[in-house]
Chain A
Amino acid sequence: NAGVTQTPKFQVLKTGQSMTLQCAQDMNHNSMYWYRQDPGMGLRLIYYSASEGTTDKGEVPNGYNVSRLNKREFSLRLESAAPSQTSVYFCASSGTGVTNQPQHFGDGTRLSIL
Chain B
Amino acid sequence: AQKITQTQPGMFVQEKEAVTLDCTYDTSDPSYGLFWYKQPSSGEMIFLIYQGSYDQQNATEGRYSLNFQKARKSANLVISASQLGDSAMYFCAMKGTGNQFYFGTGTSLTVIP
Shortest distance between the CB of A111 and any CB in chain B (Å): 13
Compute how far the CA of A13 lies from the CA of B105 in the bound complex, rounded to whole angstroms. 27
State the CA gap A92–B96 with chains docked (Å).
Answer: 17
> Given the interface contacts A90-B45, A99-B31, A108-B43, does A42 sit within 8 Å of B99 by beta carbon?
no
Binds B, one of A14-22, A43-51, A70-78: A43-51
- Report how far A45 CA is from B95 CA in the complex, Å: 13
Question: A28 CB to closest chain B CB, in angstroms?
Answer: 16
Interface residues of A in 60-96 (CB under 8 A from B): 88, 90, 92, 94, 96
Cβ A42 vs Cβ B100 within 8 A:
no
Near A by CB (< 8 A), chain B positions 50-77 give 50, 52-53
| B53/A99 in contact, CB under 8 A | yes
Q: Report if A53 contacts B (CB, 8 A).
A: no
For the complex, what is the distance from the CA of A92 to the CA of B95, rounded to whole Å?
Answer: 14
CA distance A50 to B35 in the complex (A): 19
Bound Cα distance A79, B31 (Å): 38
Number of interface residues of A (CB under 8 A): 27
A97 touches B43 (CB 8 A): no
The residue in chain A whose Cβ has the minimal distance to the Cβ of B49 is A102
Check if B105 sits within 8 Å of A105, measured CB to CB.
no
Quick one: closest A residue to B99, CB to CB? Answer: A50
Residues of B within 8 A of A110 (CB): 43
Q: Which residues of B contact A107 (CB under 8 A)?
A: 43-44
Further 16 A-B residue pairs, CB within 8 A, beyond A42-B91, A102-B37, A103-B47: A31-B99, A40-B105, A42-B103, A58-B100, A94-B95, A94-B101, A99-B52, A99-B53, A99-B95, A99-B97, A100-B50, A100-B52, A101-B33, A103-B101, A105-B37, A108-B44
User: What is A's interface to B at a CB cutoff of 8 Å?
Assistant: 31, 33, 40-43, 45, 48, 50, 56, 58, 88, 90, 92, 94, 96-97, 99-105, 107-108, 110
Which positions in B face A, CB cutoff 8 Å? 9, 31-33, 35, 37, 43-45, 47, 50, 52-53, 91, 93, 95-97, 99-101, 103-106
